[in-house]
A and B are shown apart, each in its own frame.
Chain A
Amino acid sequence: KNEVEQSPQNLTAQEGEFITINCSYSVGISALHWLQQHPGGGIVSLFMLSSGKKKHGRLIATINIQEKHSSLHITASHPRDSAVYICAVRSEGTYKYIFGTGTRLKVLA
């Protein structure tokens, strides 16, 4: 079992739909990151969380430390949101990151 699990692995949505991507982890962490990887391969950091909730535009990320679970929500999805979304955790007390395998999102116009 991977230490960081994401679901679903693949997701197809219609433009305008509300999207949720989930991340569960089994290790102690000091922070959790959500990343976006575009079809061209570039990776950008969306959020870093150690508690609570963060919002940036149409993106919302939440984390529940007790349940070892985080969610990434996209409101009013758009075809330009099509990408792979990756959850990564920084293992507690270390400088090491562990990554999920990603959720491939396709938003249809």
Chain B
Amino acid sequence: NAGVTQTPKFQVLKTGQSMTLQCAQDMNHEYMSWYRQDPGMGLRLIHYSVGAGITDQGEVPNGYNVSRSTTEDFPLRLLSAAPSQTSVYFCASSSLGSYSNQPQHFGDGTRLSIL
């Protein structure tokens, strides 16, 4: 089992460029989410999905798009990169079986720098 796989691990972009962070899980989890982690702050939810075709905004969605065409994949798109989006991004997934009893499985993170 690979768990949650994020690619790339590192990326440097120029302001205004677009890119997609990939996230895939092989555990048939319904719930997938994207977070950003900035120094001195807790992880903050960007977008989440509770199943294929269903997505919703989190705490900090501006500048990011997501889609969920399959259960396995949940890509995060930066439309026009800005220096404020420099961060470490984590993807996570969990089962929704028992509402409060499922652990989140995290990917290894993507360190993104916007110049």
Nearest opposing residue in chain A for B44, CB measure: A99
Complex contacts, B58 vs chain A, CB 8 Å? 96
- Residues 36-92 (chain B) with a chain A CB within 8 angstroms: 40-45, 48, 50, 56, 58-59, 88, 90, 92
Assess the B42–A43 pair: CB atoms within 8 A: no
Nearest opposing residue in chain B for A31, CB measure: B100
Q: How large is the interface on A (under 10, 10 to 19, 20 to 34, 35 or more residues)?
A: 20 to 34
User: Of B40, B48, B88, B109, which is within 8 A of A95 by CB?
Assistant: B48
Assess the A30–B99 pair: CB atoms within 8 A: yes
Known contacts A42-B108, A44-B106, A100 near B100 by CB under 8 Å:
no
Complex contacts, A48 vs chain B, CB 8 Å? 100-103
Assess the B45–A97 pair: CB atoms within 8 A: yes
Check A4 for interface membership: any CB of B closer than 8 A: yes
Chain A 81-106 per-residue mask, 1 if CB under 8 angstroms from chain B, else 0: 00000101010000111111110000
Nearest opposing residue in chain A for B49, CB measure: A95
User: Of A2, A33, A41, which is within 8 A of B109 by CB?
Assistant: A41
Check A22 for interface membership: any CB of B closer than 8 A: no
What are 28 pairs between A and B in contact, CB < 8 Å? A2-B42, A31-B99, A31-B100, A33-B104, A35-B106, A42-B106, A42-B109, A43-B92, A43-B106, A44-B106, A45-B105, A48-B101, A86-B42, A86-B43, A88-B43, A95-B31, A96-B45, A96-B58, A96-B59, A97-B43, A97-B45, A97-B104, A98-B42, A99-B35, A100-B42, A101-B41, A101-B42, A102-B42
